[in-house]
Structure 1
């Protein structure tokens, strides 16, 4: 025990008489390095997110994503494509090191390493600074990931004629098709073709649309008897007169749609 000004009482010499506060210092004591989460930091995050959201919405309005036709499980020649945000993974599987015997590397190995690295980036580069040059590891990994994703997406999309695919699968408005139910071929179509091709010749999951076809009446009759593509032969079992009426009915509907 020491008497006098600044007197301190210590019960055990092994315990320090100096006590430190367990309450962290206020962020204002570190000017230029920290800021209040609310509203400063959160407001900035919302502003950045709003800018990107508005930009993305404008892009979708200016260049809408093309929609394809109804899925046809009987069309073995159709090549399915993923949505645009998965095109980079689709393109990756075209390379030899990520396909064939190495397909597991392409679907699990490489994407797992890339996305796993992005998850580990904050822990690999945990410096106090927030500027890009102060966090070279995290920023470098993010830039490499963006370059790879953008390049693979662009390469994949450049080999796909989206506008042609969308135009080919564009549905025909019902108002542009006139169905003459009094035509003698309509009854034949109703009995032989309507189940697959629809009441408006619009097609369905198992058959394409008959509106917009460029086949002549003779070609339509031949297809009805002998089939084509996924359509097998022998579906039409009517007489020759009924076959002519059916072909003429389909041609008449297409002429009314022009």
Structure 2
């Protein structure tokens, strides 16, 4: 070998480092960025799955311990029924009860205020571009989220506390249908059809806005008194016929008994 010629090294890209085969699934080393980032797989994703599994199991346990109450089928003719949205919409339901968001201002409570709130949520990533992860160093998103959370909790609590749950339960109870034999040619039934009573108590006395009239433990005179003076949600003076017709109708109602 002559002086000055040196040595030449030739590399082949087809030859791979054997050690790289065993390191394929090892995540990148983030030790130079302590506390600021981590590998998406498996570190971050595993944490997300664990948290989701805990909430899912808790939710399933809650549904088994407290089954959802079943109510009667929806009846569009029953204007006395008090509808209540699911729990996650109760805060909006409560918002619509306030004067500034109900009545002539209903559009404010139903569209304007929720629209501004959700629009602000969409704009937060563009309004705050800080790379900090500490809530204390991100006052805008932190303050907004705390305000939104406090408002939702307060409105939900107010909705639950101020709602008449007993009255709603009474309207929503599943009632057993009672069959009754009706003589449609009788004078009492003809008077019933011609009266305003049928609109609330149903064609077959099954009830609707009013109570069922089958199997009432009332005398004819007591029924006449209720028709004149009212009782509960039934207003007085609702029967427009004569006193003689009302007496015949009351006597007919006392004969209505469920068939076995």
Identify whether the pair has TM-score above 0.5, normalized to the shorter chain: yes
Q: Is residue 101 of structure 2 the alignment partner of residue 93 of structure 1?
A: no
The 1:180/1:94 distance shift into structure 2, 3 A limit, reads closer
- Among 99, 106, 110, the residue aligned to 1:107: 110
Counterpart position of 1:173? 176
- Matched-pair contact (CA < 8 Å) for 1:197–1:210: no
- Among 97, 119, 124, the residue aligned to 2:122: 119
- For structure 2, list consecutive stretches of 5 or more residues without a partner in the other structure: 1-25
Q: Distance in 1 between matches of 2:218 and 2:47?
A: 61
1:75-224 map, 5 Å: 75=79, 80-100=83-103, 102-173=105-176, 179=179, 181=181, 197=202, 202-203=206-207, 209-210=212-213, 216-220=219-223
Q: Give the deviation of 1:51 after TM superposition.
A: 2.5
Counterpart position of 1:30? 30
Q: Distance in 2 between matches of 1:66 and 1:244?
A: 36
Q: Distance in 1 between matches of 2:136 and 2:252?
A: 73
Q: Distance in 1 between matches of 2:147 and 2:252?
A: 60
The 1:63/1:218 distance shift into structure 2, 3 A limit, reads farther
- Among 220, 226, 248, the residue aligned to 2:254: 248
Aligned length: 222
Q: Is residue 75 of structure 2 the alignment partner of residue 71 of structure 1?
A: yes
The 1:249/1:134 distance shift into structure 2, 3 A limit, reads farther
Q: Give the deviation of 1:145 after TM superposition.
A: 0.8
Q: Distance in 2 between matches of 1:189 and 1:40?
A: 76
Cα deviation, 1:23-63, whole Å, max 9, x if unaligned, reads xxx96242343333334323322322232333334444444
- Matched-pair contact (CA < 8 Å) for 2:220–2:251: no
**After the TM superposition, which of the residue ranges 57-66 and 44-53 deviates more from structure 2?**
57-66
Q: Give the deviation of 1:146 after TM superposition.
A: 1.1
The 1:102/1:224 distance shift into structure 2, 3 A limit, reads closer
Q: Give the deviation of 1:78 after TM superposition.
A: 5.1
Q: Distance in 2 between matches of 1:186 and 1:165?
A: 38
- Matched-pair contact (CA < 8 Å) for 2:220–2:247: no
Counterpart position of 1:10? none
What SS does structure 2 have at the residue aligned with 1:142? helix
The 1:128/1:168 distance shift into structure 2, 3 A limit, reads same
- Matched-pair contact (CA < 8 Å) for 1:125–1:138: yes
The CA RMSD measured in Å over matched residues stands at 4.8
- For structure 1, list consecutive stretches of 5 or more residues without a partner in the other structure: 1-25
- Matched-pair contact (CA < 8 Å) for 1:27–1:36: yes
Q: Give the deviation of 1:240 after TM superposition.
A: 8.6
1:222-233 map, 5 Å: none
